[in-house]
Structure 1
Amino acid sequence: MQARITKAMIVGMAMTMLAAVGVSAVFAPPAHAAQVITDISYAPAQPAGSRGHMLDLYLPSTGITPRPLLIWHSGSAWSSDDGKTGADAIAAVFNPLGFAVAGVSVRSSAQAIFPAQVHDIKAAIRWLRANAATYQIDPNRIAIMGDSSGGWLTEMATLSGGVAALEGTIGTTGVSSAVQVGLAFYSPTDFLQMNAQNLPTGGLDHNSPASPESLLVGCPIQTCPATVAQANPMTYVDSNDPPLMFLHGQADFLVPHGQSVLLYNKIKAQCGDATFISVPGADHMMPQVMDPAHYGTQTVRTTTDCTETVGTGTLNPTWANFATFLRGGLKMGTSCEVTYARGSGSGTFNGSVTMRNTGTTPIDGWTVTWTWPGNQQITSAWSATVTQSGTQVTARDLGYNSYIGPGSSQSFGFTASFTGTNGIPAQFKLNDIACTTVPA
């Protein structure tokens, strides 16, 4: 593509491309959703008949409850009010891992200008948190993810917690709109610098009155810098922000790769928590950013507590690695060991379970599950609330012992009855992670 292409042609192409490069074509529909609820209104439609205040919920058939929640919004250059499209593909990945998934739509820039879109996503988060018990969602474990303008929305929601001007009064109020972790793909972060960062071969004229960014804020961006600053995720970075991972292709024709460089450097300067995966040769598409052909070549920059690490090929952009990052940000743990000990006895025995956090992030709130191989029946327990249904056992922390730091452990015990043999459970799971069982 040549730089001489007209502004109108570039803008039109961008709108079409951004609306078409979500993940829905990459994955099959979810096979593990026990319940799919579509077109839930989290606020009244504005304007009447529009879709921007709707969400879809995908609730898994597996995993512990309450469930962690992952919110998804598809990018469209802010041109669509149907951003919940594509959430079925995300649910296909994350429902089997025990996550509930919500596809959330917000108003398009043609229906309402900024900050309406941020007001909308925060209203959706408040609605989901207020209704968490109804859908067995954990209100303290909410993640958000999106691509392009959906990545922008992800970063705005992740970085602007507590900013009163961006809350709005739409829908449910009086509930926190905070999220605990964010994951964004190729997002704009500083609109005024986008043209200067375009590829040498050209790119979108972001300064045009008809550019997606100008249409979002309601003015040609170079003429209203104060308004634009309020729409830049960069503006809201501070050291208290939740962890954020973002990915960007170095050959991105529509949103310059330098936008993510700027954001990473700002987070690093503020001693924040960020992981930036820079993928050579990738354009503005998730299939390219996640292409296995690029594995081992991406630059990975991580900054935490003013300490930076930089490596090449150290973290491939895979769904498994994204899930691990999200679990870490939600303080669910990423790896664990369990030591199971039991006393001897005829008909009854005492048992103990010790969980060790072998990951690098803390666990705050735990549930341990296992299946008995025989007819063991728990009759009492201590240091945990333990319930049993058939051969399935669930043990939950008591609050005072909910925290397990990296390298640390927590334990609980129980008394159980049995007849016949008293076999050892084949596997223990901690917050839906399969733990390594170590000898007592």
Structure 2
Amino acid sequence: MQARIRTATIAGMAMAVLAAVGVPTILTPPAHAAQVITDVAYAPAQPAGSRGHLLDLYLPSTGITPRPLLIWHTGSAWSSDDGKAGADAIANIFTPLGFAVAGVSVRSSAQAIFPAQVHDIKAAIRYLRANAATYQLDPNRFAIMGDSSGGWLTEMATLSGGVAALEGTVGTTGVSSAVQAGLAFYGPTDFLQMNAQNLPTGGLDHDSPASPESLLVGCPIQTCPATVAQANPMTYADGDDPPLMFLHGQADFLVPHGQSVLLYNRIKARCGEATFISVPGADHMMSQVMDPARHGTQTVRTTADCTETVSTGTLNPTWANFATFLRGGLKMGTSCEVSYATGAWNGAFNGSVTVRNTGTTPVDDWTVRWTWPGNQQITTAWNAAVTQAGAQVTARDAGHNAYIGPGSSQSFGFSATATGTNGAPAQFALNNTVCTRVLS
């Protein structure tokens, strides 16, 4: 259902509309096997009995460990303390790709005003990083994603890493709350400009004392510009931020499309790294922003190192492309090729593996995995830590060779025994991405 509200004199009505256009309306992938841990308290409940300090974890049953983590928060106009709802649908997409997924809730604006919500998401990130070994998470590969007010929270977390004033003292402290990549859907940025950016047909009255934005910051937004500036993700953008992708529909009735235009221009001006996908005709729903019928019409603006590219119809908003973006931001690699060679003697052989990064982003820390087609058994290895469980082999970088730049390669070798035929593995995967095989 496409929301159409002409006034916002009643805050509850506005919040209900924003809460009604969340993720579950468009995500219907098949269920998968994953371990689910629900209602993990990353901090004590505040107030007692509330849900704003809980998270759910979805851990994949396959893939390499430690796992990259994708944090999800569902938007609600800051009206709900159950933002972890909807993470199961996200997990259905990303756990088969080897990602762990955490659905994280934060306090509602009725329970605590800004910056409590940012304090909460940072506390959740710190908790997950402090307990990374327990859940087999990679503490250096955390990404965050959300829609609407969850998009705002994603942008705040992505751009404000290291900002002491936004850390707070909720839950676990003394651990980094930084993320390495962010992906946001139609998030608000500069609240003070929202009314001026409304569609010609109308929109919410964001300046109202009862608007979601005013309730978030605890004052009518036009009366407290300093506080509103602190709640603006643009305030924290600089050239050291991790990569951020954000999407916005040009017909968004609830959060004006111009909010993302402002954010992109600020990141570009500060030589940050961003990809902005602007979708004509799409309203405030993921089903419209990602609608295949609109593919090929979107404008894609990308900025990095003070250089901008603009195109039309490229980088369709699909889950496959989002996963590629996240893998690149997390330095996992997006495409690769492997060459494999052996030299055999008397029931034993030496093997060499060269993996080349054919993507446009670097790989930092790598794992190469393959499965033997016969009865081969690794005995020793060099330039990699190689382990074998049954027919499956896992080779991890040796530290000194962990980095593979775009177009570059790293090699490692091993000795093994073999009985019967000594066929080559059918495929190799770099950080869960299947590589093109180059015959040697």
SS in 2 for 1:219: coil
- Structure 2 vs 1, CA of residues 412 and 236 (structure 1 numbering), >3 Å: closer, same or farther? same
Name the structure 2 match of 1:417.
Answer: 417
Name the structure 2 match of 1:8.
Answer: 9
Contact 2:372/2:392 (8 A) holds in 1: yes
- Structure 2 vs 1, CA of residues 6 and 34 (structure 1 numbering), >3 Å: closer, same or farther? closer
- Structure 2 vs 1, CA of residues 419 and 56 (structure 1 numbering), >3 Å: closer, same or farther? same
Structure 2, gaps ≥5 residues long: none
- Structure 2 vs 1, CA of residues 353 and 5 (structure 1 numbering), >3 Å: closer, same or farther? closer
SS in 2 for 1:146: strand
Q: Where do 1:112-123 residues align within 5 Å?
A: 112-123=112-123
Contact 2:68/2:138 (8 A) holds in 1: yes
Sequence identity of aligned pairs in percent?
84
SS in 2 for 1:52: coil
Q: Deviations over 1:287-344 (max 9, x none)?
A: 0000001000000000010111100011000000000000000000000000001013
- 2: distance between equivalents of 1:51 and 1:404? 42
Q: Which amino acid aligns with 2:301?
A: R
Contact 1:26/1:89 (8 A) holds in 2: no
Name the structure 2 match of 1:209.
Answer: 209
Q: Which amino acid aligns with 1:311?
A: S
The alpha-carbon deviation at position 30 of structure 1 amounts to 6.4
Q: Deviations over 1:197-242 (max 9, x none)?
A: 0000000111000000000000000000001000000100000000
Q: Where do 1:41-440 residues align within 5 Å?
A: 41-440=41-440
The alpha-carbon deviation at position 171 of structure 1 amounts to 0.3
The alpha-carbon deviation at position 439 of structure 1 amounts to 1.6
Q: Deviations over 1:122-168 (max 9, x none)?
A: 00000000001001000000000000000000000000001101000
The alpha-carbon deviation at position 90 of structure 1 amounts to 0.1
Q: TM-score, normalised by structure 1?
A: 0.98
The alpha-carbon deviation at position 255 of structure 1 amounts to 0.3
- 1: distance between equivalents of 2:183 and 2:421? 48
Q: Which amino acid aligns with 1:309?
A: T
Contact 2:9/2:208 (8 A) holds in 1: no
Q: Deviations over 1:400-437 (max 9, x none)?
A: 10000000000000000001111010000000000000
Deviating more after overlay: 31-40 vs 417-426: 31-40
- 2: distance between equivalents of 1:127 and 1:21? 29
- 2: distance between equivalents of 1:248 and 1:366? 34
SS in 1 for 2:310: strand
- Structure 2 vs 1, CA of residues 189 and 345 (structure 1 numbering), >3 Å: closer, same or farther? same
Aligned residues: 439
- 2: distance between equivalents of 1:152 and 1:56? 20
Contact 2:428/2:434 (8 A) holds in 1: yes
The alpha-carbon deviation at position 2 of structure 1 amounts to 12
- 2: distance between equivalents of 1:130 and 1:258? 38
- 1: distance between equivalents of 2:381 and 2:223? 67
- Structure 2 vs 1, CA of residues 241 and 4 (structure 1 numbering), >3 Å: closer, same or farther? closer
Q: Deviations over 1:254-290 (max 9, x none)?
A: 0000000000000001111000000000000000000
The alpha-carbon deviation at position 20 of structure 1 amounts to 1.7
Contact 1:33/1:58 (8 A) holds in 2: no
The alpha-carbon deviation at position 17 of structure 1 amounts to 2.0
Q: Deviations over 1:20-57 (max 9, x none)?
A: 22212322476334210100000000000000000000
Name the structure 2 match of 1:31.
Answer: 31
SS in 2 for 1:154: helix
Q: Which amino acid aligns with 1:246?
A: F
Q: TM-score, normalised by structure 2?
A: 0.98
Q: Which amino acid aligns with 2:137?
A: I
Deviating more after overlay: 93-102 vs 19-28: 19-28
Q: Which amino acid aligns with 2:62?
A: T
SS in 1 for 2:25: coil
Aligned structure 1 segments of 4 or more residues deviating by more than 6 angstroms: 1-4
- 2: distance between equivalents of 1:96 and 1:407? 27
Q: Which amino acid aligns with 1:117?
A: Q
The alpha-carbon deviation at position 18 of structure 1 amounts to 1.3
Q: Deviations over 1:77-102 (max 9, x none)?
A: 00000000000000000000000000
Contact 1:275/1:300 (8 A) holds in 2: yes
